[in-house]
Amino acid sequence: MTANQPGQRARQDRKRRREHYTRLTQPLVRDAGVLRPASWEEAMSRAAEGFRRNTEQHGPNAFGMFSCARSTNELNYLAQKFTRAVIGTNNVDSCNRTCHAPSVAGLAHAFGSGGGTSSYQEIEDTDVIVLWGSNAREAHPIFFQHVLRGMRNGARLFVVDPRRTSTAQFAERHLPLNVGTDIPLAYGIAREIIHAGLANRTFIERGTENHAAYAAAAEPWTLARTEEVTGVPAELIRELAHVYARADRAQLCWTLGITEHHNGTDNVLSLINLGLLTGHVGRHGAGLNPLRGQNNVQGGGDMGAIPNRMPGFQDILDPAVREKFGLAYGRAIQPRYGWNLTQMLDHIERGDMTTCYIIGENPVQSEADCQHTVKRLSNLDHLVVQDIFLTKTAQLADVVLPASAAWCETDGTFTNSERRVQRVRKALNPPPGARDDIAILCDMARRLGHDWRYTPEQAWDEMRSLAPNHAGISWARLEHGGIQWPCFSEDTLEPSYLHARLWEEDPERRGRPAPFTVLEHRPPVDELTDEFPLRLTTGRRLDSYNTGVQSGGFDSPRRRGETLDLHPVDAEALGVAEGEEVRISSRRGSIVAPVRLDSGLSPGLAFMTFHFPDEVDVNAITIEATCPIAGTAEYKASAIRVERLDPVPAV
Ligand SMILES: Nc1nc2c(c(=O)[nH]1)N[C@H]1C(S)=C(S)[C@@H](COP(=O)(O)OP(=O)(O)OC[C@H]3O[C@@H](n4cnc5c(=O)[nH]c(N)nc54)[C@H](O)[C@@H]3O)O[C@H]1N2
Ligand SMILES: Nc1nc2c(c(=O)[nH]1)N[C@H]1C(S)=C(S)[C@@H](COP(=O)(O)OP(=O)(O)OC[C@H]3O[C@@H](n4cnc5c(=O)[nH]c(N)nc54)[C@H](O)[C@@H]3O)O[C@H]1N2
Ligand SMILES: [Mo]
């Protein structure tokens, strides 16, 4: 090997990546099994014709829309309208399904609406911050700045995570629980609060119901039993219980460590129970907050790009809601929930969904058990993918449409995790040949007989005329800064936090109480056995983004590629060294990756990302067990076996 070979290889790697990550600038259509360049006219007419053919032959429910959580509110509004008014089905969803759908379902169950309850300012004004199943320093670095400011103002930080993450390193206490034991831990904390007389009687009496049944269900979870099941020392559980309950104001924030489980919604409800028990909701500085994932996944759901809600979180099963939208859209809204993304994939497999329009999603690399996803998508009669790159998903399409990148090449709005709607403005022209997401969608609607001509602002104004909780947020107002929903009129603002009503003395003004939910502990589906003895959890690193489509083409000084992170004790038992490539197998399949040692893990626990699927396809081994309420997969708990590639021969 000559001295400059490694450098040459790195340069070749970079060149290969840059070529692979060249933006899409020309539509593609499939002929004789191969994607070839086409004119916009040809590609659009093929795309529209395929939708028409399939819905005529099989009815509107044969169509599914995957909408884009990276694109604007205005695109998401029009994508759901396209699905409901042009095609006539409620089958519209987005990556929220893989992510925070359990948070939305849990919050809606407890409080009637699915948004986080506080503002970022309140994170700075609070006394205790609990980050539960969240690696905010790496995955929510902007939010984490508010956490740091809160700490500078005196807040105490607790982190609940199986790994000692970089977030945990900032905390006063880190509770390293076993994967999938969040419900027992929440129960153990609750029981301690109840027995220490620290529950908030006023709030429980005014704002909640079902407390007695909940307290009874918590009773078996003594500190000793909770320690045994969760692996967290009893003293730490007791301390968190006392600090959280005694605080004047506390914020409980969670992310995917809670939601990406086969019982994700139950996990969310177990945290909501803690907020209800202590009255840490409905007041300034006290709240229950999922930190949302993609830049506009909150907005996508708010805009109705979900199968059960119209824009503004209005329930499709409410006849008055359907009537209002039916009149406005000139087409009756189906009186049933559509299929969510997980269900759509099932129906594609069964053959009763035959066509999909995927705008800015890469399910081939993001869905659990992705070999299965490829098989399913290949079953479609007609697949249209609208993206900024030629993804693995786009490579399966019949028509590929090159789009502009919402965050810098279009005008519109995004909504962040504190429900704040903010303007985004076009700063760059899209590459020649790419077209704006909304312009493409309007063209598609026109080809299917609907004379759509929307500027982003017109789409927004139509949306807020139909969604009372957004009615007061005009673009003119947004010139002066972001506005949180709910905002009912153009000359008022609501408090920055939700559900103050639950504290009202007058029962009339209080409205529906928030219920405690009794929950059962059900361990991860993928069982640990002698054959698959290690627990694999998957997640993120600061330097990369999701399936790597948007980050993989650029160098980062911190990036080291995919690794299998192991505790040194496990590595020693397996006889593997740092950097050594190993085979990682689950009940779904096998992949190969180099080992990295991380003493922040517990023995028995391994970690990988899903940022480099072109090199190491982690979702080939994750399990597709899903939460029956929210449809989210258990990305956070697979059972694996690790083997050396070149076992040392026995002597
Ligand atoms: N840099 C970067 N930032 C991102 C993204 C990215 O790819 N890169 N993606 C964005 C998206 S789409 C999302 S949804 C968010 C996700 O943001 P996060 O949810 O913070 O990210 P993850 O790393 O997936 O998971 C968080 C933590 O859950 C822990 N965990 C695993 N199992 C359990 C368990 O059983 N219980 C508990 N309590 N914790 C557990 C993991 O150890 C991990 O540290 O990040 C967003 N921000
Ligand atoms: N193993 C494992 N798998 C996971 C997870 C995990 O923790 N572990 N997390 C899950 C989670 S939380 C999520 S959110 C999903 C993410 O799953 P996906 O959303 O499928 O994955 P991304 O890589 O974020 O893909 C985003 C796509 O949008 C395109 N895009 C970006 N901007 C625009 C735009 O303005 N317009 C258009 N038309 N396209 C655009 C990008 O090019 C890219 O192809 O992955 C899930 N998969
Ligand atoms: Mo996400």
Burial class (CB in 10 A: 0-12, 13-18, 19+), 243: middle
Q: Which residues belong to CATH 3.40.228.10 in the chain? A: 101-290
pLDDT at 17: 60
Angle between helical axes of 264-278 and 182-195 (0-180°, round to 10)? 20
Which pair of tokens denotes residue 41?
A: 């006219």
**CB-based contacts of 37-43 (< 8 A; 24+ apart in sequence):** 40/435, 43/399, 43/400, 43/401
**Residues in contact with 532: Cβ distance below 8 Å, sequence separation at least 6, in sequence order:** 526, 585, 586, 587, 639, 640, 641
Lowest mean pLDDT among 3-17, 471-485, 625-639: 3-17
Q: Which CATH architecture has domain 534-644?
A: Beta Barrel (2.40)
Is residue 5 scored above 60 in pLDDT? no
Is residue 4 scored above 50 in pLDDT? no
pLDDT at 558: 83
Residue 557 Cα distances to 107, 283, 437, 561, 582, angstroms: 39, 43, 32, 11, 25
* Distance separating alpha carbons of residues 515 and 272, to the nearest angstrom: 10
Categorize the per-residue pLDDT at 649 as very low, low, confident or very high, splitting at 50, 70 and 90.
low
Is residue 533 scored above 50 in pLDDT? yes
| Closest residue by Cα to residue 468 from 485, 491, 488 | 488
* Distance separating alpha carbons of residues 329 and 331, to the nearest angstrom: 5
With 0.85 as the threshold, say if the pTM is over it: yes
Which pair of tokens denotes residue 297?
A: 């996944």
Categorize the per-residue pLDDT at 3 as very low, low, confident or very high, splitting at 50, 70 and 90.
very low
* Distance separating alpha carbons of residues 630 and 635, to the nearest angstrom: 14
Nearest protein CA to atom 40 of ligand 1, as residue: 257
Nearest protein CA to atom 17 of ligand 2, as residue: 366
* Distance separating alpha carbons of residues 310 and 303, to the nearest angstrom: 7
Categorize the per-residue pLDDT at 9 as very low, low, confident or very high, splitting at 50, 70 and 90.
low
Q: Which residues belong to CATH 2.40.40.20 in the chain? A: 534-644
- Distance of CA 409 from the midpoint of ligand 2 (Å): 18
* Distance separating alpha carbons of residues 301 and 309, to the nearest angstrom: 8
Q: Which residues belong to CATH 3.40.50.740 in the chain? A: 39-96+295-418+427-468
**Protein fold of 39-96+295-418+427-468:** Rossmann fold (3.40.50)
CATH tag for 101-290 (out of 1.10.760.10, 3.30.70.1450, 3.30.420.40, 3.40.228.10): 3.40.228.10
- Distance of CA 366 from the midpoint of ligand 2 (Å): 7
Is residue 92 scored above 80 in pLDDT? yes
Backbone CA torsion sign across 342, 343, 346, 351? negative
* Distance separating alpha carbons of residues 137 and 125, to the nearest angstrom: 19
Categorize the per-residue pLDDT at 1 as very low, low, confident or very high, splitting at 50, 70 and 90.
very low
Which pair of tokens denotes residue 589?
A: 């399949």
Task: For the chain, give the longest Cα–Cα distance.
Answer: 83
Name the one residue in this structure whose structure tokens are 């090199």. 615
Is residue 6 scored above 70 in pLDDT? no
Which pair of tokens denotes residue 71?
A: 């694109």
Mean pLDDT value across residues 462-482? 97
- Distance of CA 3 from the midpoint of ligand 2 (Å): 39
Categorize the per-residue pLDDT at 556 as very low, low, confident or very high, splitting at 50, 70 and 90.
confident
Average pLDDT of the chain to the nearest whole number: 95
Nearest protein CA to atom 14 of ligand 1, as residue: 293
pLDDT at 647: 61
pLDDT at 406: 86
* Distance separating alpha carbons of residues 560 and 423, to the nearest angstrom: 35
Categorize the per-residue pLDDT at 555 as very low, low, confident or very high, splitting at 50, 70 and 90.
confident
- Output 177 or 21, whichever has higher pLDDT: 177
For ligand 2, mutation pick of 134, 362, 364 (most atoms within 8 Å of CB): 362
Mean pLDDT value across residues 315-325? 98
